[in-house]
Each structure stands twice: as C-alpha cells, then as structure tokens.
A and B are shown apart, each in its own frame.
Chain A
C-alpha cells in the first residue's frame, strides 16, 4: 500500500525558532499533498494544499508567511513553522493524494508533535 512518512515525529523547540517538518510519499508519486493541524481530541483542520511545482493554497485564517510550504518534488513536501510560539504547539499531519485507486483516498503520515516552549 501507499506509505507516507513524516520527519521528525516529535520536536521540542524554543519560542522564536523555526521548525521544518518533512512529508514524503515513499512508494508513489503525489502531485498533491495536504497539511493538517490537529488539537487534542479535535478534528483535523486543513491548513493548506501543496501542489508540486506551484505555490501552496492556504485555507482561510492560515498565515502563509508563518507556515511556509514547499513541494519541491513529487515525493516531498515540507512545512516550516517560522518564529514558532507556544500557541503553535500542535499535532501536524500531512497526507498525500493517491490517484491509483477510484476512491480519492488520502494517505496520511504518522504526524509530527510540535511543542514550543
């Protein structure tokens, strides 16, 4: 099956630093990747849609200068949280679109737990 990895799985950083999270599709090419944010026991909130070779599309209320997304290849998208603050602490999950099946299924990475001190 399609596998999506995320790195790192956990990161703790000081306020004001920047953190980069990588999302990779390991055995398929993903023209579209999605970045979500999830608070404890809450739903997944779509932050942005990342298309290979073009600018990401951000959802309303998501600061594009704060959450930089780069989709440089068909297997890698990165999310950089710039000048992180404690309120940015969250579970960040990426997913990749699979065009292989008929179900428009998204394959999710294992998530990255970000804690900003």
Chain B
C-alpha cells in the first residue's frame, strides 16, 4: 500500500535552520516533490528530487535517498514568511500523493 509520514508541526525561530523529514512507501515511484502552502492559499512547488542526493534552490534544499524511501526539506535562514505548511509528495508518473503536511511556525 501507500503511506507517507512527516512531522505534523515544527516550530523554529527566525534565522534558524529547519529540516522536515519525509518517509514514504509508494508504488511506481518517480521522484519526490515538495510543496509549500500558506493558510488559505494554493500549494506552490518548491523542489523535486528524481535522483538520490541534495538539490539546492536558494535557502531551500531537498534531499532524497531512494534506497531508504526517505527525503527531507531543509530550510535555512528562516524568515517569518516561511510560516506555512510543507507537503512532501511522491510522484508516480504525473500523479502526486500528498502527506498530511508539516505546519512550520517561525517565531521572532
């Protein structure tokens, strides 16, 4: 079957570094996507890992280990505007499966 696990909530202070872990179990795995969603807004794409290793995009980085069915999103130099929900989503072809999401609260 399919399963996704990520922490439900994380709290950090401005300027800090946060790592949001994701473990998954899914069939037909192509890669792992990460999306950000602010309250009341639409999810926006952050990153995608098709291969093992680290992908860096500005303050955000994402990591994938296919053999461990594990990935993480790393957010550096946290800003207040980073307070949002973060979803890992395994890709199976062009379909995404969203986990419960991690609610990140950034405090001053």
Q: Say whether B30 faces chain A, with CB atoms less than 8 Å apart.
A: yes
The CA-CA distance from A93 to B42 in the complex, in Å, is 7
Cβ contact within 8 Å between B99 and A105: no
Q: Say whether B101 faces chain A, with CB atoms less than 8 Å apart.
A: yes
Choice from A41, A44, A102, A103 contacting B33 with Cβ under 8 Å: A103
Kindly supply a per-residue 1/0 record for chain B positions 32-75, scoring 1 wherever the CB is within 8 Å of any chain A CB and 0 otherwise. 01000000111111001010000000000000000000000000
Cβ contact within 8 Å between A107 and B45: yes
Q: Which residues of B contact A50 (CB under 8 A)?
A: none
Interface residues on chain B, number (Cβ under 8 Å):
24
B interface, over-half SS: loop
Interfacial residues of chain A within 39-68, with CB under 8 A of chain B in the complex: 41-46, 49
Cβ contact within 8 Å between A49 and B41: no
Cβ contact within 8 Å between B33 and A108: no
Residues A42 and B48 in contact in the complex (CB < 8 Å), given A32-B94, A105-B33: no
Q: Say whether B10 faces chain A, with CB atoms less than 8 Å apart.
A: no
Choice from A43, A102, A108 contacting B42 with Cβ under 8 Å: A108
Cβ contact within 8 Å between A46 and B31: no
Cβ contact within 8 Å between A41 and B97: no
Residues A111 and B42 in contact in the complex (CB < 8 Å), given A43-B87, A49-B95: yes
Q: Which residues of B contact A93 (CB under 8 A)?
A: 42-43
